[in-house]
């Protein structure tokens, strides 16, 4: 039972969603399933049913934290995190409005900071995220200050010694 969406998921992720027999083990272990509408194995079923509009505009594909719990639990070795990645890629490439716009913004900011510095810089990333998503800048200042005082969040960004190699990775991915 293949269709455009399942073929595209397989091409991008290397995963064969038709192997799923819906034992539900992935969904039972997913730490964010309570916030999802369909859940991991529900999404796999919908891929096979070619319900592209519902899937690609759903918040579920953006809520996945990529923790791999589902992949570890799956008796058929389906890497659902990779499937979720491929669904996000398809949604962006086909200009679907993301079900969780802030998640897409967060992904883009993270990659932008890593591309420029060769490493993440949490203070810059979260500052930009708050400004662009219209979250009040000081609403969790207490937590941020605690991390800063413990030396966990440097205030000024520093470039990684491997930033050129990281830049090469971005170029190759393009």
- In the bound complex, what is the minimum distance in angstroms from residue 19's beta carbon to ligand SF4? 7
What element of type H or E holds 78? none
- Asked if 16 contacts 80 with a C-beta cutoff of 8 angstroms, the reply is no
Tokens of 41: 């194995």
C-beta of 160: minimal distance to ligand SF4 in Å?
27
Nearer to ligand SF4, 65 or 145 (CB): 65
Shortest reach from residue 20's CB to ligand SF4, in Å: 3
Q: Least CB distance from residue 68 to ligand SF4, whole Å?
A: 5
Cα angle for residues 159, 165, 171 (degrees, 5° grid): 110
End-to-end distance of the chain based on CA atoms, in angstroms?
A: 31
Using CB under 6 A, list all residues that contact ligand SF4. Answer: 20-26, 30-32, 40-41, 44, 64-70, 73-76, 78, 80-81, 84
From the list 156, 100, 111, the residue with the least C-alpha distance to 133 is 100
Choice between 10 and 76, CB closer to ligand SF4: 76
CA–CA separation, 162 and 110 (whole Å): 17
Which C-beta is closer to ligand SF4: that of 88 or that of 121?
88
CB nearer ligand SF4, residue 30 or residue 113: 30
Nearer to ligand SF4, 78 or 114 (CB): 78
Evaluate whether 99 touches 58 at the Cβ level (below 8 Å): yes
Q: How far is the CB of 6 from ligand SF4 (least distance, A)?
A: 13
Q: What are phi and psi of 154, to 5 degrees?
A: -65, 140
């Amino acid at each position: 039972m293949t269709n455009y969406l399942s073929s595209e998921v397989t091409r991008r992720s290397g995963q064969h969603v038709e192997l799923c027999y819906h034992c539900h083990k992935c969904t039972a272990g997913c730490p964010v399933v309570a916030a999802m509408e369909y859940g991991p194995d529900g999404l796999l079923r919908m891929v096979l049913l070619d319900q592209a509009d519902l899937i690609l505009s759903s918040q579920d594909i953006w809520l996945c934290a990529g923790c791999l719990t589902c992949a570890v639990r799956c008796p058929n070795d389906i890497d659902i995190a990779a499937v979720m990645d491929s669904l996000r890629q398809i949604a962006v490439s086909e200009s679907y409005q993301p079900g969780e716009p802030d998640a897409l913004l967060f992904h883009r900011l993270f990659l932008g900071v890593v591309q420029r510095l060769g490493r993440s810089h949490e203070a810059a990333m979260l500052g930009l995220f708050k400004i662009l998503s219209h979250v009040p800048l000081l609403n969790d200042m207490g937590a941020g200050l605690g991390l800063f005082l413990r030396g966990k969040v440097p205030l000024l960004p520093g470039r990684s010694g491997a930033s050129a190699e990281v830049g090469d990775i971005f170029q190759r991915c393009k």
